[in-house]
Amino acid sequence: MLPIKFALLNHADRVDIWRDRLVCRDLDRSIDRFRQFIANCKARDERLSIITHSFGDWIVRQALQKSPDNQVDALVSIAPVIARSPVGIVLNCLGGSFASEVSVIANASRAAENAVVTTTVRRLVIWGYFDIWVRPFAMPEIDNQTVEHFFATHLSIVMQPNVLRLVSGFLNSRTEIRRIVGIT
């Protein structure tokens, strides 16, 4: 997320990376922490744009579902976990119960929970063609959502200049950004 943070520093009052455990996290606790973060931004009257990568998108979607009255302007989902993953299935068979994320990634219905966010939030979904960790999901065509594909892997996609330009242009296209937060 650091390349995205540096690319967006001149486009917002504040750009942060929201810290959470990357693996073996308590999902309910992470969702509630991010829901509270959204509520705190609203209490301070901060308009918020969120950029997610990988499993961070699943956490944010659940938090948004639990806090429909928010001040989130935009959500950029980079290589989001929305579909069942072959790598997740293999890890789950090898004893995936050690990591709560694996059980979600290996289960099609859990991975797709709240795949479509509220229509009040503009959304950009970016997939990598060579991503072995997550699989693209057939996103419904709705007015506030754009889907793009790039020649990238799961990790390289957040460092590509063309992706950084797309994200910056998307976030700056309609609103004055006050705060951007990234989560993986």
E-assigned strands of the chain?
14-17, 48-53, 72-78, 122-128, 145-150, 179-183
- Is the pLDDT confidence value at 33 over 80? yes
In this predicted structure, what is the pLDDT of residue 23?
67
- List CB contacts of 171: < 8 A, sequence separation 6 or more: 8, 11, 12, 49, 74, 76, 177, 180
In this predicted structure, what is the pLDDT of residue 141?
84
Rounded-to-integer distance, Cα 180 and Cα 175, Å:
12
In this predicted structure, what is the pLDDT of residue 84?
87
Candidates 2.60.40.290, 3.30.70.20, 3.30.70.100, 3.40.50.1820; correct CATH number of 2-79+113-178? 3.40.50.1820
Q: Span 178-184, mean pLDDT?
A: 76
Show me where the domains of the chain are located: 2-79+113-178
pLDDT tens readout for residues 84-105: 888 888 877 887 667 788 888 8
Q: Span 50-76, mean pLDDT?
A: 92
